[in-house]
Structure 1
Amino acid sequence: MTEPGHVIRKLEQALADDDFAWSLLLVGEDQTDKLATLTGDLRGPVSTTGDGKQITSGFSYWGIGPTIAWANATNDPFYLVMKAGAESFLRHWRKVKPHVTKAGFHFVSLGIGTGIKDRTILEDLRRANRNMFYIPVDMSSEMLRMGTQEPVRGARFPASQVLPVQLDFSIADNMVELAQMLARLVGDEPLLYTLTGNTLANFESDEDLLQLITDVLRPQDRLLLEVASTTRLDQETADAAADEYHQTRAFAEFVTSALRYNTDLKIDNERVKFIGEVEDEDALLVKILWQNDTGGEIRMGLPDHTEVVLPVGDTIRLYTTRKYSTTRLKRLTAACKLTPVEAIQSQFRYTRRPNPFGLELLLLAPEAAGEEEHTLADDIWST
């Protein structure tokens, strides 16, 4: 009879030499609660502008169907923004990494995506801290399984130092619990939180989300934030931002996938609208909507086996994203009391004509850190 012991230690030993595709996951939420939330959001009021019924950020990737649809979209050669974003990140990270590769950071990835960017970060952080932990956090357990393959297997990162966490980090109590658990896990050692891939832009209130993350940062922690940027703020540019997402069918399949897999609504991509507008005079907002333009009402079955009526003109917001001006970023970080340690901007290079769109990568410190080092961020953010 084997001696009693900690199940985690024994499990690590049991899986050490097993080549089966096991993956460990720390589940932080009751999934029936998430389904109830999604169902409630789809019962929202009638709106012709996408401000009633909606699929909020996180649910767009929730479940195996949306996860596969996202993977297909990221691999679509016509989705040039995704490819350009991956290339830009490599250039930007080279300038940021000297600030975080000497202090022995652990890595907390909020919204894992494809895992390609996490792999780059992991490889560099581990050179400075061989005992570091990698904690990817996502609302979708399927995204966690898919996304960790690239950084863990590709970079040969030890599985025993990986802790995927299923959690909706846009909920304040969840972030507090996560931070408390991480503090017990790593003690006073610093954590590098990352929110890459323009994930911040997908939330209805980007400031609220940024504040939730800021609230759990300790003085020694840092936040790596990547956002899509724009140098122009007018309706023509807003229309161009919307068209950027309209160019690939794979992206349309992705944004409608949560609706396909959680309702009985028959999806016609011709009813998917991509709408761009200037938001608060310092950002471009893109709303992607499904709209009932059939000329008659439609009944949509929900996951709880009830129905909701969609009158003519009614919409369901499928996805929200933004492109930020430097003014908006300064306003957000100032409101959340975050200090820019480094900020790198670049414009997209895949078009022949000058393009107002690009990406910005910011390394941010909480106000309590007292960060005073002069970097490129001072030059960019002082204008």
Structure 2
Amino acid sequence: MALREPAVQRLEGALTDPGFSWTLCMVGEDQSQKFSQLTGELRAPFSRTGDGKRISSGFSYWGVESTVAWVHACSDLFYPVMRESIESFTRRWQRIGTALEGRRYHYVSLGTGTGHKDHAVLERLRRGHPELRYIPVDVSPEMLRLGQREALRNLDIPAGSVVPVQLDFSSARNVLGLRRLVERLVGEEPVVYSLLGNTLANFEDDTALLALLIGQLLRPQDRFMLEVASTEQLDEAGARAAAREYRASPRFGEFVTSAVMQYTDLRIDMDSVSFGAVVEEDRSLLVKVVYRNRTGGQLRLTLPDRSSIEFPDEDTIRLLITRKYSPAGLEKMLADAGAVEVGRTRSGFNAAIGEPGFGMDLVLLQAGPPPAPNGSHRPPAPNPFG
């Protein structure tokens, strides 16, 4: 590996200044283009079903207000998906991490979240590996700073070994750029990538995204750790329970509306937030959260570029989609994405008698043979508001 330039060495020294809390961050894309994308999605046509105007995954966490709202939601007693996921993660990671023993891995975290899970991963990977590099990646600079702080808490990892990257990893161009950056930083040494917290389920074409990440990031020596929400019950009763789970958390409601409140002048009425869920073929319970104009009249919304749009009565803004995968659905998605399972562990949530068995699956993957052409194609998901 080439020697670092003296200027970079001086910068590393500045990062350790005890008198100020500096965070180094590599910005991988033009933020003005992200604003343009957000504005374009909010200009979409009228839809009663949440298929027009939308806040795409990534923008839900973009900005200080959304970051703070997400942290609060993750600690909400009424939001078990993330709270129990965080609390059980260390135990599940310790079990699945045995498959990594015998080699020294660097760590790339796709979507840092609160940083608690990255802390558990780093604590183990750091043992016997003083040269470990930690590369947290997120579309939100605010989330990067917050997550990095928690991830590195009480860990003796030099500032120069931490390279936060602001990047939207759902873009093929960005993924290729990330791979080149990682290879420059670690050479041929193996890497563990992670996509935790059911983040994959927030994307419309989850299989295509996973195929992109597996196919473009992983070399034979690398591994990929995926965490998704799971369900043992794939029927209408399970769908209703999944929607109810998200609806029950006031702080989750604050989180899903935070981006609209931050990037438009819409006055939020929580009674206008709707949670619906359907069975998505034989693969998952699909939950959709929308904001509906229930005022009985037309509104005008000001967008980030100071332009305005009409928001008619009964029009909607999709705030979020998420899923809980069935065992068969998860298996098919992994196969369609060209991923080979190395290990898996599951933690179920405490459920009342008669309630569906929800939980979190943690899967360790490696790249397999390239998937067949169109292997990840599937028909559009049914709409809970259709």
TM-score range (shorter-chain normalised) is over 0.9
Contact kept, 8 Å, 2:351 with 2:357, in 1: the verdict is no
Contact kept, 8 Å, 1:263 with 1:301, in 2: the verdict is yes
Q: Show the counterpart of 1:199.
A: 199
Shift in alpha-carbon separation, 1:341–1:252, aligned structure 2, 3 A:
same
Q: Show the counterpart of 1:125.
A: 125
CA drift of 1:336 comes to 1.5
Write the distance in 1 (CA, Å) between the matches of 2:46 and 2:355: 40
SS in 2 for 1:285: strand
CA drift of 1:298 comes to 1.2
SS in 2 for 1:299: strand
CA drift of 1:90 comes to 2.0
Q: Show the counterpart of 1:280.
A: 281
Residues 90-147 of structure 1 deviation map (CA, whole Å, 9 limit, x = unaligned): 2211211111242111000000000000000000001032111000000000000001
Write the distance in 2 (CA, Å) between the matches of 1:10 and 1:90: 36
1:92 aligns with 2:89: no
Write the distance in 2 (CA, Å) between the matches of 1:64 and 1:87: 24
Write the distance in 2 (CA, Å) between the matches of 1:298 and 1:229: 39
Q: Show the counterpart of 1:221.
A: 222
- How many residues of Structure 1 are paired with residues of Structure 2 in the alignment? 365
SS in 2 for 1:20: coil
Root mean square deviation, CA, Å: 1.5
Contact kept, 8 Å, 1:343 with 1:360, in 2: the verdict is yes
Residues 59-109 of structure 1 deviation map (CA, whole Å, 9 limit, x = unaligned): 000011111111121222332332211233222112111112421110000
1:226-245 matched pairs, under 5 angstroms: 226-245=227-246
Residues 234-284 of structure 1 deviation map (CA, whole Å, 9 limit, x = unaligned): 112111101111111111111000000100111100000011111122210
Write the distance in 2 (CA, Å) between the matches of 1:215 and 1:322: 23
1:41-80 matched pairs, under 5 angstroms: 41-80=41-80
Write the distance in 2 (CA, Å) between the matches of 1:181 and 1:71: 29
Output the amino acid matched with 1:281.
D
Write the distance in 2 (CA, Å) between the matches of 1:70 and 1:34: 20
Write the distance in 2 (CA, Å) between the matches of 1:91 and 1:153: 19
Shift in alpha-carbon separation, 1:317–1:154, aligned structure 2, 3 A:
farther
Shift in alpha-carbon separation, 1:82–1:312, aligned structure 2, 3 A:
same
Write the distance in 2 (CA, Å) between the matches of 1:198 and 1:231: 16
Write the distance in 2 (CA, Å) between the matches of 1:61 and 1:229: 23
Q: Show the counterpart of 1:310.
A: 311
SS in 1 for 2:126: helix
CA drift of 1:351 comes to 4.2
Contact kept, 8 Å, 2:238 with 2:356, in 1: the verdict is no
Return the TM-score normalized by structure 2: 0.91
Write the distance in 2 (CA, Å) between the matches of 1:75 and 1:331: 32
Write the distance in 2 (CA, Å) between the matches of 1:51 and 1:6: 52
Q: Show the counterpart of 1:375.
A: none
Shift in alpha-carbon separation, 1:86–1:356, aligned structure 2, 3 A:
same
SS in 1 for 2:262: helix
Shift in alpha-carbon separation, 1:284–1:339, aligned structure 2, 3 A:
same
SS in 1 for 2:18: coil
Write the distance in 2 (CA, Å) between the matches of 1:68 and 1:341: 35
Return the TM-score normalized by structure 1: 0.92
Contact kept, 8 Å, 2:119 with 2:153, in 1: the verdict is no
Contact kept, 8 Å, 1:84 with 1:350, in 2: the verdict is no
Query: Which segments of 5 or more consecutive residues in structure 2 lack a partner in the other structure?
Result: 371-386
CA drift of 1:343 comes to 1.3
Output the amino acid matched with 2:92.
H
Query: Taking every aligned residue pair, what percent have the same amino acid on both sides?
Result: 49
Output the amino acid matched with 2:316.
T
Write the distance in 2 (CA, Å) between the matches of 1:313 and 1:215: 41
SS in 2 for 1:35: helix
Shift in alpha-carbon separation, 1:183–1:12, aligned structure 2, 3 A:
same
SS in 1 for 2:152: helix
